Amino acid sequence: MPSKICVDGRIWGQNNKALKFHTLDLVAYETKEERKARYNELALMRYRSNPEPQRTKQRAQRKRRKIEVLTHYSTADYPVCARCGITDIDILCLDHINGDGAERRRETKEPLGKALYYYLKKAGFPDGLQVLCFNCNMKKRISEGK
């Protein structure tokens, strides 16, 4: 009797534990590109069937990266606001000391948000940034009349 195949490629009625041992499956592919394509396919299937563990891992990784980057730009050896001394990682952010953020984004394609932390780490922590809390960042912007 032919087996039915699910939309995501699993065989209907099986408990599909084989998915966890996808490395065995990869031996059957000749070239590196074929193995890579099959690996990515399996990884996507695994992610779609249960995305939460990977999301949790990514969240933790982003937080570790943020702490690392903010620590680098802090005045102390832990993330801290340069003006008021707050250490709450959730409200700390990066500030362009000379207010040239928009200019830098145009020139160096510096991204915004969480992608900025990744970019800065990869670019070897360029100068011109400091750590401020959100309130101090807003206060600085208002006092500069921007």
Q: Which of 87, 101, 90 is nearest to 144 (CA)?
A: 101
Map residues 86-115 to x or -, x wherever contact with Zn ion holds by CB under 5 A: x-----------------------------
Choose between 9 and 99: whose C-beta lies nearer to Zn ion. 99
Map residues 47-86 to x or -, x wherever contact with Zn ion holds by CB under 5 A: ----------------------------------x-xx-x
- For position 133 contacting Zn ion by CB under 5 A, the verdict is yes
Alpha helices (runs of H) in the chain, residue ranges in sequence order: 22-26, 32-49, 52-73, 101-108, 114-122, 134-143
Cβ of residue 113: shortest distance to Zn ion, in angstroms?
20
Angle, vertex CA 126, rays to CA 56 and CA 104, nearest 5: 95
Number of residues that bind Zn ion (CB under 5 A): 6
For CA atoms 42, 47, 50, 53, the dihedral sign is: positive
Residues near Zn ion (CB under 5 A) are 81, 83-84, 86, 133, 136
